[in-house]
Every structure is written in C-alpha cells, then in structure tokens.
Amino acid sequence: MSSQVPKSQHGDPAWEIATLFPAQGDWCEQEYLSLQTNRLIELNEGKLEFLTMPTELHQLIAFYLCTLLRNRTSDKKKGLSLMAPFRIRTLSGKFREPDVVFMLNENSRRRKAQYWDGADLVIEVVSPDDPARDLEVKRVEYAQSGIPEYWIVDPRDRSVLVLTLESGQTQYTESGRFTQGQTAQSILLGDFQVSVSEIFDQDGAGNA
C-alpha cells in the first residue's frame, strides 16, 4: 500500500504526530522527561510551558555567574553548579529549568542524570517578555519547594535580589537588593560574592 504524501501537502506540518503526545494538562513526569529536544520546556501541573530563546546578554550573564560560582566552590569541593538547559523538580508534577543551579555535596543523593530534586541555590536572569514569571511565580514555587536561596538578576534596573528561606518557612526573606557599585553576597555560601557592576558589564550589551 502506497504511503506517498500528496504533492499539495509537501511542506505542511505533520499534524497527526501531535496525537501521539498527551494533551495539555495530561502530561505526567515520565512523559515529560522522555522528551528529546533542544527547546527549553518546563512542566507545570500537567502542562508544557515553552520558554523563549534567551538573548546573548542573558546567556553571558548566566555563564559568568555559573563560572564564578564553580570557581568559588569547586576548590573546596562544596558542590556542583550547572547552567540551563537542565531540569530540577521543584514540586510534584513541576519541573523548571533555572538559568543557574547549585547543589551542595552533602545533598548529592538528590542529583539524578536527567534532573535534580530541587537545589540549594537557584539563579534566574529576568527576561523582559514575562518578568512576573521569575519575580512572582518562581519566587513562590522555589520557596514552597524548600530551595534555601534564590537570586533574581534583573537587567532592567541592573539589580540583584538575594532571597533566603529561613528554617520552617515557606516564603522567602529579602536578604538584600544590590545595585551598581555594590557586591551581592550569598548567605548559603559565605565566599560567593559578586560585583553587580561586573555582572552587567559583560560583552554584548543589549536587552536580556
């Protein structure tokens, strides 16, 4: 039996392939983790959320912070840091791909090949298309999942907000908002200090 595609359909999307995947709202963790793609995709209560492609400045900032974090922690073997794309499970049925993640060696049992169960420090670089995602939605979610420290790096006003989670709490406390000329300081990692000016003075200036 011939399976030749009619000439009029050449170049059209293969819509039928979509029926092989779950509908939005029905995705489970196993189905999400089986996705093989170079797209940044997060899972939120059965729904896939497709992230916008980051800009050059966004990536330069993330790379700089990840590299600095690795340099400040690897020599003392404190833990492991990675940058996106890499998944962490925050809550049941919820996976995120933060710009930078760090896990203490003492919690290495939570590291898996495809994802980590949470993290000890997360850094997000705010994108202008949906600032509330990092400033509000993920602030609540990361706190509820017990991530001890969350940095929000915002190129719009060139600031770094350091949030920490006190024992037994499910809402972050603002440890400090740092701007040009100041040094952002980690509470979790005392020797991780970053000049805010250097963060935003990376090559390739533009919108994040």
Note every long-range contact of 44-52, with CB atoms under 8 Å and residues 24 or more positions apart, other chains counting. Answer: 44/93, 44/94, 45/93, 45/94, 46/22, 46/93, 48/24, 51/97, 52/127, 52/129, 52/130
What are the extents of the domains in the chain? 7-50, 56-200
pLDDT in tens, 184-207: 999 999 889 999 999 999 765 445
In b/e form, how buried is each residue of 32-61, taking b as 16+ CB within 10 angstroms? Answer: beeeeeeeebbbbebebeebeebbebbbbb
The 3-state secondary structure of 163-206, one letter per residue: EECCCCCCCCEEEEEECCCCEEECCCCCCCEEEHHHHHCCCCCC
Q: Name the pLDDT band for 13 (thresholds 50, 70, 90).
A: low
Average pLDDT, rounded, for the chain: 87
Instruction: Name the 3-class secondary structure at 58.
Output: helix
In CATH terms, the fold of domain 56-200 is tt1808, chain A (3.90.1570)
Query: What is the per-residue pLDDT for 32?
Result: 82
